[in-house]
Amino acid sequence: MHGLSSGFSVLDASQPWLAFWSLNSLDIMGRKIDSATRTRALQTVLRFQDPRGGFCGGQHQLPHLAGTYASVMALVLVGGDDAFASINRERMYEWLMTMKREDGAFAVHEGGEVDVRGVYCVLVVASLLNIMTAELVSGVAEFVARCQTCEGGLGPYPGVEAHGGYTLCALAALEIIGSTHVLDLKRLARWMSARQMAFEGGFSGRTNKLVDGCYSYWVGGAFSILQRALSRTPQDDLLYERRALQRYVLACCQDTRIGGLRDKPGKSADLYHTMYGLLGLSLAQHYVGVDPQTRISDTTSVYSVPARMMQWDVVTSAADVVGVSSNVVKPVHPVYGVSLVPLAKCIKYFYALPPLAPSL
């Protein structure tokens, strides 16, 4: 958080991500964001907001769904009414609708590619800012369902190989709109279970690929959402070996030379793998889920979205931590990938504002 070397210039179009990865990693580890860092982060991210709506990956660039997602999540972590009020909700919604396609998906920018990443980014942003409408979510579930492959996982768009990152994006998007039932969940569970490597304990992202630390969240987080979709309880536990994943992150992904987390031994740590490794570690340590007996099933009210999202809670009796107590990190929400308190504060602020539509 005190400046990056010139080598990071290749990430010029990913500047909001650098802020998000850094802020979120600090928060997950329980480090308080001091006022000077907060001010600097807020000023930096707001420079990326486009007057037409959305956020860019850098100044003087096109607004982009990925940059918008990262910017909004960074502002969630910064927190405070001043940060939340700085987001132009009306322009944001108008811009999101210009990215909407007839098949239910979204282009990531004007003239850009179309895949489930865009769907996830849109629904995370819209659900947090209280700008969900029936028009925005129209056709989304059907598009995502068409992305499920013969293997059971989900690819970026119909007809393409299943991938761990796209599977998380797809499952999380469907969870936000209460539509995970459109998938063949048992086939999905088989494919996801095959992603955990028997020797390493970590996850691969695709069939016949090597383990990678970032899939600790992309696949590990998807398991938490699948747990709810299958109405499983803490007594059932998650459908992967939680302690094996923790051992992989702690023993193989830590870079003892420069700090941070990495893909695998032999690689160098970076901000991306650090944040996603910490997210996966958190979800393996803490059982974050929803009681099947009390789950909210309504999907028609605008207010059902925050109600369903805030039902996710930590079941302390189901915690399972490898090693010493200093290994423990904060619990996180598997859908949004941030800790529960800043998420709740964001939802409380925006859902005190009038919604753009009375129902979905």
206 catalytic residue (yes or no): yes
263 catalytic residue (yes or no): yes
12 catalytic residue (yes or no): no
Residue 294, burial from CB neighbour count under 10 angstroms (0-12, 13-18, 19+): exposed
Name 287's bridge partners.
315
Task: Tell me which of 103, 237, 270, 313 is the catalytic residue.
Answer: 270
247 catalytic residue (yes or no): no
Task: Tell me which of 120, 166, 215, 287 is the catalytic residue.
Answer: 215
50 catalytic residue (yes or no): no
Which DSSP string corresponds to 59-122?
Answer: TTS-B-HHHHHHHHHHHHHH-SHHHHHTS-HHHHHHHHHHTB-TTS-BBSSTT--BSHHHHHHH
Task: Tell me which of 147, 169, 214, 253 is the catalytic residue.
Answer: 214
Residues found in the chain: 360
Give which of 286, 282, 281 is closest to 314, Cα–Cα: 286
Residue 165, burial from CB neighbour count under 10 angstroms (0-12, 13-18, 19+): buried
Task: Tell me which of 100, 273, 286, 308 is the catalytic residue.
Answer: 273
209 catalytic residue (yes or no): yes
What DSSP character marks residue 332?
A: B
Task: Tell me which of 209, 243, 264, 345 is the catalytic residue.
Answer: 209
Look-up of token digits 């032999």: 266
Task: Tell me which of 100, 163, 195, 333 is the catalytic residue.
Answer: 163
Amino acid present at 40? R
The phi-psi region of residue 320 (left if phi > 0; otherwise alpha if psi is between -120 and 50; otherwise beta) is beta
56 catalytic residue (yes or no): no
Give the whole-angstrom CA distance, residue 121 versus residue 205.
20
Task: Tell me which of 121, 242, 263, 286 is the catalytic residue.
Answer: 263
Task: Tell me which of 27, 50, 115, 212 is the catalytic residue.
Answer: 212
Are the C-beta atoms of residues 66 and 117 closer than 8 Å to each other? yes
Give the whole-angstrom CA distance, residue 73 versus residue 21.
10
Host H or E run for residue 263: none
Residues serving a catalytic function are: 163, 206, 209, 212, 214-215, 263, 270, 273
